[in-house]
Structure 1
Amino acid sequence: MDLRFPLACFGLSMALLASSGCSPDDEHQQASLEERSAAFEKSLDTIKDQQLKDAVADLGGSLLLLERARLKLQDKPVETEYGTDDLALLKHYPSSQALSDAYINGLFVMRKNSSSDYLTDLEPVFPFPLNSASEFPFPHALEWQSVTLSNKQVVPFQPEWSETDPGIQLSPSSANLSNPDDLTVTYPYIDGIEVENTQQPQPLMLHGKVEVIAPGKVVTFNLTAKDVGKTRTDGTISATLLTLGKNFAEVDIVNSAPLAEQVRDTPLNPLIIQARDHSGQFLARSGSINENAEQLAFYQEQLAQMLKQTAWTDAFGQQLDNEQKAFDQKHTHHYSKVYFNGTVENIDINVLDFSTANITRKALDLPVRKLDRNVVGKEIQPLPLNVVVYDDQAANYLKGANLEPGQLEKSVVIRQSVDDASAATLEFSHPATFNDEMLGALPDHSDAPVTFFAEDDTGKRSEPLELPTEAFDVDPHAGVITYDLNLFPETPAYAVGSIPLFIADIDKQVLDVAHLPKGLELKGNALVVDQKVFPSEAWRFYAKDDTGNYLKEVVAVSHSAEPNGPTLFDVHYFYGQPTQLESYARTELNPVEYGFEVKLDKAPEASAAQ
């Protein structure tokens, strides 16, 4: 049975599993939640029928999880964090279908270099990250089915590696948690027999299928605080901004047109809600609640019915399904309360209109490409891709090429840690910029003087503390000062000194691809960069096409003449055909002395002693 409760990943808007509703006191709410969670766990233990127990655990656990998320969201401090335009991708393509086609046709598979004789890793490379709705906004699904090996053997995909399976296996990679889409071909280990990886049957073709649902159109409403309580309409779609708080927006959407027949049984979230602050930049989201009070009351009622049963029956399961379908048919509103990291000035409500929809289903037969990040040899492997994908972050990122000392100093953040009295730290950091990327090798020795002071009776600095050299250590490159409070004659209250920062002078040039200088060569969508002329430590290259937009780089490969030898040239592959290049070269490295006076936090023991 599929209950289809759309509750597992968001917060909620009311206290659940208790008829008394929310307490105004947050601490009381949290305590009450913990009590109800414990009571719920006990009630689960009394259910003997496993199928009923699983259904109750799924729904009741989701409701409790959502209340926990709601409390966390409403208590989160308002700290500004900027994100990107979730619909930027769509603006580059003439239709939603064209975006879907780019997603499907831009997918390819690389074989990753492996040091194991019994494992070969495969990396599916997506033009837009698979697991990020903000990067690819349409509902999509991908299913791997098998891999064909060089000996013509077809190995079926299995969801996890089996220790008892004696044959070759294809399963998700368990070694690379940072790239969850990776797959691994696992060869059987035979004790006493050594078989090198190159002697194993090699993966040649990865098979699967993909499905993308493209809405007929996307409707956008731009609203401010003046629009609260008002309903705006565009065609069959009406949007109401219910509330607009400091860091959240609550909206209700109605589409009077029914869903397209082919997607009526597919769970869809048609809303992409974005916010901007006074600067006009998009704020990052911190979470959302997609069920209103009426929906949550319905789920509570279904949970109450479950708790009255002694065993699960097909008839009861069908009853719940029918109630869900009847509720969905009667309640066609789409509600969402979205929290943001920052103070909201404007709201963009983007509605994916699935009253008409294009479903693209395609069988995938993808050749496995051997394209290591480090290649021995001069042969350049072509990587033809018949899609164009733009890098919407590049323009903003490149604005950080040139920095003024004052800009850099104002961005410095100082963090303290005194949890370990023997290794208390002061850490100096600043938001990463393109200029940081271009710094290259920093000087081996940099002056970073620091003096510690106690405080007098008025709380001001007293005389400098006389300290042994081992009492503190300064790592100017990492921007970290570590000090041992056990070696101080008295508790320090202030640290005064300077930490070296660096700014690169960067020279930007625009290059015509028809007249590239010696050391640069364009081969199709691949830019070849001679490392003797343009070493990567000091040079960066970005590509544009005829639209003036930056092309997204697919992968960069370094070629050397021998293993672990110096790099001869780099090859940068792009999604699209470059017609213009931009070069960025570091011409100078300038030190900036960041002077500081920091009031030091006290270690817990020191605080208690006073």
Structure 2
Amino acid sequence: MDVRLPLTSAGICLALLLSGCSPSDEKRQVSLEEKTAQFEKSLDAIQDPKLKDAVSELGGSLLLLERAQLKLDSKPVETEYGEDALAMLKHYPTPQALVDTYINGLFVLQKDSSSDYLTDLQPVFPFTFSVPAAFLFPHGLEWQSVTLSNKRVIAFQPEWSETDPGIQLSPSSSNLTNPDDLTVAYPFIEGLDIDKKKQPQPVSLQGKVEVIAPRRLYSFDLTKKDIGQTRTNDNLSVTLLTLTNNYAEIEYNNSAPLAPEVSETPLNPLIVQARDSTGQYITRAGSINETAAQIAFYRQQLAKMQQQKSWSEALEKQLDEEQRTFEKRQARRYSKVYFNGTIETLEVSMLDFSAATVTRKDLDLPVRHFDAETPDKAIEPLNLPVVVYDDQAATWLKGATLSEDQLKKNVSISQSVDDPSAARIEFTHLRSFNDELLGTSLNPGESPVSFFTEDARGKRDEPIELPPEAYQIDPLRGTITYDLNLFPETPAYAVGSMPLFLATVEQKTVDTRQLPKGLELKDNALVVNLKAFPAQDWRFFAKDDSGNYLKEILSVSHGANAQGRAQFAVHYFYGQPTRLETYQRTELATVQYGFEVKLDKADMTRLDQ
């Protein structure tokens, strides 16, 4: 029996659960800790193993939910911008077209490993996802085997085995952020040197994929004016219960029954996004998908189980029936979604699974080898049968026209005084496209800094005379490190200037049928002569006839000479470029950022004696 709360859809990230609470929530935190301790004590008194497991599972889920609610309520509202989760769908005429692109755009790269006994395989998906985002539709991918150059087929196993003497295929341990990465492990023989290149090489990777495409997706645009209102489109409806500074409460419903082929599949049809007053999307902080009535019901079930002395089939049947009866009465589903920023408008989208297309495909993908740099001059084809657009390119390229004022406004200053002998001031700025074209010939010039004491009112007072070794400035890294051991007085202010760098970028658009000398298009690959177009000075973005930027698959630098300089680079795109945008750095300026920093106070007892 499964009486757990459906927390797998709660959208609670681990980092959030591990973060601290604000002081105003300390009492709630203490109460929760006491409740947890009491619950654990009550578990110790249960003798029946099955009953103990059931109580532990449901009670633990309720405590986790309460802890998540506390974390979400106490998390400071700090604006964090993200991407449109639906952008990829907007380029395709139907949900099924998106599914076909997802499957047909998948390929496998062989990656070199530092170990003589390992070869990594990286499945490359046509769409890029940032945690906790994922592909829009329910999907599953299962790897089955790898075929080697000697025709041997190595079956996939869920983890590497130390006792298996043969070649193994298992999930990679070197990239925990991508669970689909795999490793081919060759046997280790004590005292015998192995040349990995002479081992049987992976040729193709076998697996199967399944994706469920809904009949349609529909979006409701909501503001505070819609609070209490139900918006409907055919069989889909959404009610905005609450919309506050950083969270919204929503009820939603699909009045049509689920398609038979997905009636037993756990589905989350809701996608909620928000924008702030700038019109940009703000990221989600988490969500709670249980109503007060649901929580009360599960608490009743928990209390009933805690009153029992042992587990029985009759109890299991009773709890199951109560749960089914309760769920049937829940005509609408609920979600409380928190965001990192102040909500101006809400976009509530629903996937309509009243009809669905289930796509299943057996995969037999060739293993491709594309190194970022290669001495070879032969150009390998990588022409995939899909078109994928880069929805972030237009925003990223705004950095080409970055002004001096914009650059300065993006600067943030942080301090570290944990080690008084190496106290630190650090100047950082939001990375932009302009940074890509700065090159390496940076001239920071002078970076003067002076330290001052403070007067009785906390205002800046007299400068402190210091030996040169008392502080160190690294203008290229944007840091000032100072040793309080060498200060005759306690500094309170630092005043000076830190250099920033700004490229002047010239942008041009050319038809791919009339490319200048040094640029050549071979199918979906742009070949760039690096002598005519040095990599540190130039960037290239491609569009097709739709006017959208094509996503770059990867790039390879070819024909490196003895000095390590490549002769040409090849950029591969998902689709056929018809127009090319070129970006060239024509000038490089040093911008002085003047500052006055109130210094954080260090723990003077930690100074070297």
State the TM-score, normalizing by the size of structure 2.
Answer: 0.93
Q: Which residue of 2 aligns with 1:6?
A: 6
| 1:321-370 superposed Cα distances (whole Å, 9 cap, x missing partner) | 44444433331312111111111111111011111111111111111111
Matched, 1:278 2:270: no
* In 1, Cα distance between equivalents of 2:564 and 2:146: 34
SS of structure 2 residue aligned to 1:180: coil
User: Deviation of residue 5 (structure 1)?
Assistant: 3.7
CA contact under 8 A between 1:250 and 1:336: conserved in structure 2? yes
Looking at structure 2, the residues matched to 564 and 304 of structure 1 have their Cα atoms a distance apart, in angstroms, of 74
Cα distance in 1 for residues equivalent to 2:562 and 2:141 = 37
Is the contact made by 1:213 and 1:357 (CA closer than 8 Å) also made in structure 2?
A: yes
Q: State whether residues 228 and 242 of structure 1, in contact with CA within 8 Å, keep that contact through their aligned partners in structure 2.
A: yes
Q: Give the C-alpha shift of residue 489 in structure 1.
A: 1.0
| Residue 479 (structure 1) aligned with residue 486 (structure 2) | no
Q: CA deviation at 1:195?
A: 2.3
Partners of 2:24 and 2:129 lie apart in 1 by: 41
Alignment size in residue pairs: 597
- The verdict on how the C-alpha distance between 1:558 and 1:418 changes in structure 2, with shifts beyond 3 A counting, is same
Give the equivalent residue in structure 2 for 1:370.
369
Quote how far apart the aligned CAs of 1:309 are.
4.6
Correspondence 1:522-601 to 2 at 5 A: 522-561=521-560, 565-601=564-600
CA 1:54–1:396 in 2, change beyond 3 Å: closer, same or farther? same
Alpha-carbon distance between aligned partners in 2 of 1:4 and 1:376, rounded to the nearest angstrom: 57
Higher deviation after alignment, 326-335 or 51-60: 51-60
Decide whether aligned partners of structure 1 residues 301 and 352 sit closer, same or farther in structure 2, where only a CA change above 3 A counts: same
How far residue 419 of structure 1 moved from its aligned partner, in angstroms, is 2.0
Q: Contact (CA 8 Å) 1:11, 1:69: kept in 2 or not?
A: no
Paired amino acid for 2:336: K
In structure 2, distance between residues paired with 1:58 and 1:442: 60
Alignment correspondent of 1:502: 501
Deviation at 1:61, TM superposition (A): 2.3
1:295 equivalent in structure 2 = 294
Partner of 1:342: 341
* Kept in 1: contact 2:387–2:574 (CA 8 A): yes
Distance 2:55 2:9 in 1: 17
Do residues 413 (structure 1) and 416 (structure 2) align?
no
Alignment partners' CA distance in 2, 1:132 and 1:483: 38
Q: Quick check: 1:11–1:68 contact (8 Å CA) kept in 2?
A: no
- Whether contact under 8 Å (1:391, 1:551) holds in the other structure is yes
User: Does the CA contact (< 8 Å) of 1:89 and 1:136 recur in 2?
Assistant: no
Q: Equivalent residues in 2 for 1:133-152 (5 A)?
A: 134=133, 136-152=135-151
**Which residue number corresponds to residue 397 of structure 1?**
396
What residue identity is the alignment partner of 2:6?
P
Q: For residues 187 and 11 of structure 1, do their structure 2 counterparts lie closer, same or farther at Cα, with a shift above 3 Å needed?
A: closer
In structure 2, C-alpha distance between the alignment counterparts of 1:526 and 1:52, rounded to whole Å: 62
Asked if 1 retains the 8 angstrom alpha-carbon contact of 2:4 and 2:57, the reply is no
The CA deviation at 1:52 is 4.3
Task: Give the whole-Å Cα distance in 2 for the aligned partners of 1:243 and 1:29.
Answer: 23
Instruction: Note if contact 1:141-1:211 (Cα within 8 Å) is conserved in structure 2.
Output: yes
Distance in 1 of aligned mates of 2:272 and 2:235: 19
Say which is worse superposed, 450-459 or 46-55, in terms of deviation: 46-55
Q: Percent identity?
A: 63
Q: Residue by residue, what CA displacement relative to the aligned partner does 1:403-432 show, whole Å, maximum 9, x if unpaired?
A: 211111122111112222112111111111
Cα deviation, residue 133, structure 1: 6.4
Deviates more, 1:518-527 or 1:87-96: 518-527
2: distance between equivalents of 1:275 and 1:502?
Answer: 34
Distance 1:150 1:86, change over 3 A: same
Cα 1:540–1:579, aligned 2, differ >3 Å: closer, same or farther?
same
TM-score, with normalisation over the residues of structure 1? 0.93
Rounded Cα–Cα distance in structure 2 between residues aligned with 1:165 and 1:314 = 42
CA distance in 1, matches of 2:534, 2:317: 67
Residue 444 of structure 2 contacts residue 590 of structure 2 at CA under 8 Å; is this kept in 1? no
1:174-573 paired onto structure 2 within 5 Å:
174-310=173-309, 312=311, 316-317=315-316, 319-443=318-442, 446-561=445-560, 565-573=564-572
| Cα pair 2:156 2:170 within 8 Å, conserved | yes
Match of 2:29 in 1: 30
Structure 1: tracts of 5 or more residues without a match: 13-23
Amino acid aligned to 1:354: F
Residues 171-228 of structure 1: per-residue CA shift (max 9 Å, x gap) = 1111223443210001111112222111211111111111111111112111111110
Judged with a 3 Å threshold, the aligned counterparts in structure 2 of structure 1 residues 4 and 65 are, in CA distance, closer, same or farther, namely closer
Q: CA RMSD in A?
A: 2.2
Partners of 1:118 and 1:189 within 8 A in 2: yes
Letter in 2 for 1:412: V
Q: Do 1:290 and 1:336's aligned partners in 2 also have CA atoms closer than 8 Å? A: yes
Q: Deviations over 1:292-329 (max 9, x none)?
A: 11222232233334434555556655554444444333
Instruction: Specify the alignment match of 1:19 in structure 2.
Output: none
Alpha-carbon distance in structure 1 between the residues aligned to 2:550 and 2:318 = 53
Are the aligned partners of 2:447 and 2:497 in contact in 1 as well (CA < 8 Å)?
yes
For residues 564 and 136 of structure 1, what CA distance do their matches in structure 2 show? 43
Q: How much has 1:131 moved relative to structure 2?
A: 7.3
Rounded to whole Å, the distance in 2 between the matches of 1:85 and 1:507 is 29
Residue 577 of structure 1: how far off its partner (Å):
0.7
- C-alpha contact (below 8 Å) 2:5/2:62 kept by paired residues: no
Structure 1's 333 and 217: CA in aligned 2 closer, same or farther, altered over 3 A?
Answer: same
Supply the distance in 2 between the matched residues of 1:136 and 1:162 (Cα, whole angstroms): 31
Taking structure 1 as reference, are residues 390 and 38 closer, same or farther at Cα in structure 2, changes over 3 Å only? same
Q: Is the 8 A contact 1:11 1:67 kept in 2?
A: no
Q: Distance in 2 between matches of 1:586 and 1:422?
A: 41
CA contact (8 A) 2:287 2:336 kept: yes
1:81 aligned partner: 80
Q: Any conservation in 2 of the 1:148–1:204 contact (CA below 8 Å)?
A: yes
User: Quick one: distance in 2 between partners of 1:377 and 1:216?
Assistant: 48
Could you tell me how far apart the structure 2 residues matched to 1:530 and 1:320 are? Answer: 71
Determine the C-alpha separation between the residues in 2 that align with 1:11 and 1:359. 25
Preserved CA contact (<8 Å) 1:291 1:336:
yes
SS at match of 1:339: strand
Q: 1:34, 1:354 → 2: CA distance? A: 41
The structure-2 alpha-carbon separation of the partners of 1:376 and 1:270, relative to structure 1 and needing over 3 Å to count, comes to same
> Which secondary structure does the structure 1 equivalent of 2:7 belong to?
coil
Partners of 2:93 and 2:583 in 1: how far apart?
Answer: 32
What do residues 19-53 of structure 1 show as CA deviations (whole Å, max 9, x unaligned)? xxxxx962211101111222233333444555544
Asked if 2 retains the 8 angstrom alpha-carbon contact of 1:541 and 1:583, the reply is yes
2:265 is paired with a residue whose SS is coil
Which string of whole-angstrom CA distances, capped at 9 and with x for unpartnered residues, describes residues 546-571 of structure 1?
10000111111111346873212111
- The whole-number CA distance in structure 2 between the counterparts of 1:419 and 1:247 is 33
C-alpha spacing 1:323/1:141, structure 2 compared with 1 (3 Å): farther
1:7 maps to a residue whose letter is L
**Structure 2 residue identity aligned to 1:65:** L
The 8 Å contact of residues 439 and 503 in structure 1, kept in 2 or not, is answered as yes
The residue identity in structure 2 corresponding to 1:599 is: K
Deviations 1:67-125 (A, max 9, x none): 22211211222222211111111110000111111111111101012232211100000
- For residue 16 of structure 2, what is the aligned residue in structure 1? none
Superposition deviation, residue 135 in structure 1: 5.1
Deviation at 1:8, TM superposition (A): 4.0
Supply the distance in 2 between the matched residues of 1:407 and 1:132 (Cα, whole angstroms): 29
* Cα-to-partner distance string for 1:431-473 (whole Å, 9 max, x where unaligned): 1111111111143553111000001223222221011222111
Asked whether the equivalents of residues 273 and 338 of structure 1 are also in contact (C-alpha less than 8 Å), the reply is: yes
CA–CA separation in structure 1 for the residues paired with 2:144 and 2:319: 33
